[in-house]
Chains A and B, each alone.
Chain A
Amino acid sequence: MQLEFSAEEEAFRLEVRDFIAANYPVEIRRRMEAGVAPGKSDFVTWQQILYQQGWIAPRWPVEYGGTGWSPVQCYIFEEEITAASTPRVMPFGLTMLGPVLMTFGSDEQKQQYLPAILDSTTWWCQGYSEPDAGSDLASLKTQAVLEGDHYRVNGSKIWTTYAHYADMMFCLVRTSSEERKQQGISFLLLDMDDPGVEVAPIITNNGLHVVNQVFLKDVRVPRENLVGEEGAGWTIAKYLLGHERTTIAGVAASRQQMRRLKEIATQELDGALPLWQSSRFRDRVAEVEIDLLALEQTNLRVLCDENAGRGPGPEASLLKVRGTEIQQQITELMAEAVGYYGLPYDKTVLTEGWGDQPPVGPDYAASLMPHYFDWRKSSIYGGSNEIQKNIIAKAVLGLG
């Protein structure tokens, strides 16, 4: 057993770190470190910097523009870009649709869409959930009826992240009614500028606009925008969900948040002493940190299996469950660390920072409570944690 990174891997880490130090725009970094929510241009600017370096799609095959890195290198890369507080690389095109097109798409679709995913000139969103199809995704009702060379699409998608930024949406639609609800679902690519597409914002509990409901009324989608066969949508959706499970734990992000939590607890005073000196508070942080260590080691074990060509099985669901639980505990401790100053709320500060006005309380405090509220989503999205447990019960333990 060799539980340390090799010298080559550590050298690679330094290469990534040096690149970020030299190329991450200071104005984005300043906002991100202040906890200000990034906007579209922040995401795109950073993604295009990675694209110029050839690092935007590490896990893609080299012939499509990937880096050829090992899973461990990809993990190190994620650790470094996360530790540097860079905007999260949007997964919709790069980690979700890209691999789907490579596996199921036609040559024309690959040529048309993959380059614009790589250089971030097309922003994709994901049209999966519907008002009446959440955990029971296969009961989705959005209908696509073939009329000549077009599908006519009617229905509604919900919780669609950044639909208001998106140029295109990949979505699951029902093309026929079959005996099993998983049959008759197809995978369509839809232009958000088409007539009949309406994006309505949903304001979440932090007061911000990230997710939307998308209404589709008689939207005409060209037949060539069907990915794979008609009725293959469920197979594609399952492939997509099973892809790249080893980053699902979010260990690097939690490590970064843990560093922030310690900084805050060191600056916050509890009487004459820093809060961090209080063993009552610190013990709780310590317990979460130990849990994070256990998760990290588990993640690395799965990763080494992947390095050796043994893909992660359904047990990767545990990474999602524990990863999000730990993320949520950290957001909770951060909000708690600032005491009363978790309470003042100013929506503008969340999107633009304090600007010229002096902050109310410590400058790091304003986003912590809204972030705690917002992060309750993590155990709900991507297959709720209860659904993940159903998967483990059935596929790993043989129950049910």
Chain B
Amino acid sequence: MDYQLNELQQMLQQSVEKYVERDYDFANRQQLAVTDLGYSEENWRQFAELGWLGVPFTEEQGGFGGGATELMVLFEAFGKALLLEPYLASVVLGGQLLARVGSAEQIERLLPAVIAGESKLALAHSEPQSRYHLSRVACSAAAQGDGFLLTGHKALVLNGQNADHLLVTARTSGDVDDPQGISLFLVPAEAAGVTVRGYRTVDSLQAAEVHLDGVELSADSVLGTVGEAHADIEWVIDQGIAALCAEALGCMESLQQATVEYLQTRKQFGVAIGQFQSLQHAAVDMFIALSQSRSMVYLAANRANADRDERRAALSAAKNFIGRAGRLIGQTAVQLHGGVGMSDELDVSHYFKRLTAINTWLGDDHHHLGQYSDSLLAK
């Protein structure tokens, strides 16, 4: 048993931590967040040059040959930086799904451009009534000649407005809750019938509603086997969960550090407020949640490629725990900062908002408690 990163992982960690510390300051981030794009193309090009966009792909595919642990290292640093760039959407969700199920020809056509930062992807899966259930797909893909006709509404498509290609799930058979009959399509964002309504989310990231009104697709737009996408969607969502948990950990670490510093320096009643036991114990509760969150982030990365049932249960456990810990740490950090913790100017507000949004993305703590709880029945 060993909880240490290997040498390559440590090098990656040093490189990303140095970058976010030196080149990704909060004031700059806040300016980027309100631009039309919502992040920096220049940063994205730099990520490509640093090789980060290829981290989870095999060397054969032009990648770094990493996996969930390497992504964990990146995302913990991204969390500290409150990173805006669409790494989760384009690389973790879109890129990894393409690399997993795409044909050699499809991968060759698109993945090198993703790794080079020239192409960006988005996964369009959730729908207004699906909440977090991965098998609830109402969007339909009717057979039309040799190809398909896509109709439906995809909700909260992360980075949907900035992607040149969408990976869209639609039903080719079965009822709305049936895991069978879900297919995955590669859809160019400019295809006729695709309408993208982009917006900002509460944490200053970008998402979109995607409407598909009779989008005509050829047969070679299908990624993987027709009707069999559900297991791969589950897998890639679990990769996303592991990454989000690590990002949340980075946010929590920053909040913990900021809060302890504040308690040591803010004076009331003639003393540093960290002298007061009720505030000390609240800060200790943050520390306890943070320490255990780190353990769960390691567990999530470690189980991200385990067999399906073990993987799903572990990732649900991690997402649930991180969701609760993030809420406790976010809320306590705001409370212990007092009035200043409410101000938009302070990064504390933005870590709090990002943690809140992370809980919602890919299933909140309540959803994953239910998933984990149901998994106990099978044991």
Which A residues fall within an 8 A CB radius of B? 1-6, 9, 72, 262, 276-277, 279, 282-283, 285-287, 289-291, 293-295, 297-298, 300-301, 303-304, 307, 315, 318, 321-322, 386, 389-390, 392-393, 396-400
Contact = CB atoms under 8 A, between A and B. Distances in A.
A322 B288 CA distance: 8
A392 B284 contact: yes
Given A1-B4, A1-B302, A285-B376, A279 B280 contact: no
A69 B17 CA distance: 38
A391 B281 CA distance: 10
Given A72-B1, A286-B369, A318-B288, A399 B283 contact: yes
A290 B369 contact: yes
Contact of B284 (A4, A287, A294, A397): A397
Contact of B1 (A2, A289, A315): A2
7 contacts: A1-B2, A1-B4, A1-B298, A290-B320, A301-B298, A393-B284, A399-B283
Contacts of B287: 315, 318, 392, 396-397
B377 A276 contact: yes
B88 to A, nearest CB: 22
Given A282-B373, A290-B321, A400-B275, A389 B284 contact: yes
Contact of A304 (B3, B296, B320, B373): B3
Contact of B264 (A72, A396, A398): A398
Contacts of B263: 399
Q: Is the interface of B mostly helix, strand, loop or mixed?
A: helix
Contacts of B281: 386, 389, 393
Contact of B291 (A4, A298, A400): A298
Interface of B: 1-6, 69, 260, 263-264, 274-275, 277, 279-281, 283-285, 287-288, 291-296, 298-299, 301-302, 317, 320-321, 369-370, 372-374, 376-377
B320 A287 contact: yes
Given A1-B3, A279-B373, A318-B287, A400 B280 contact: yes
B292 A295 contact: yes
Given A297-B298, A390-B277, A400-B274, A283 B369 contact: yes
A294 B292 contact: yes
Contacts of B372: 286, 289-290
B317 A399 contact: no
A149 to B, nearest CB: 46
Contacts of A1: 2-6, 69, 298, 301-302
A399 B271 CA distance: 12
A393 B376 contact: no
Contacts of A396: 287
A295 B298 CA distance: 13
Nearest to B259: A397
A3 B284 contact: no
B253 to A, nearest CB: 13
A294 B295 contact: yes
A11 to B, nearest CB: 15
A326 to B, nearest CB: 11
Nearest to A296: B295
Contact of A294 (B279, B283, B296): B296
Contact of B280 (A297, A300, A389): A389
A301 B280 CA distance: 25
Contacts of A393: 277, 280-281, 283-284
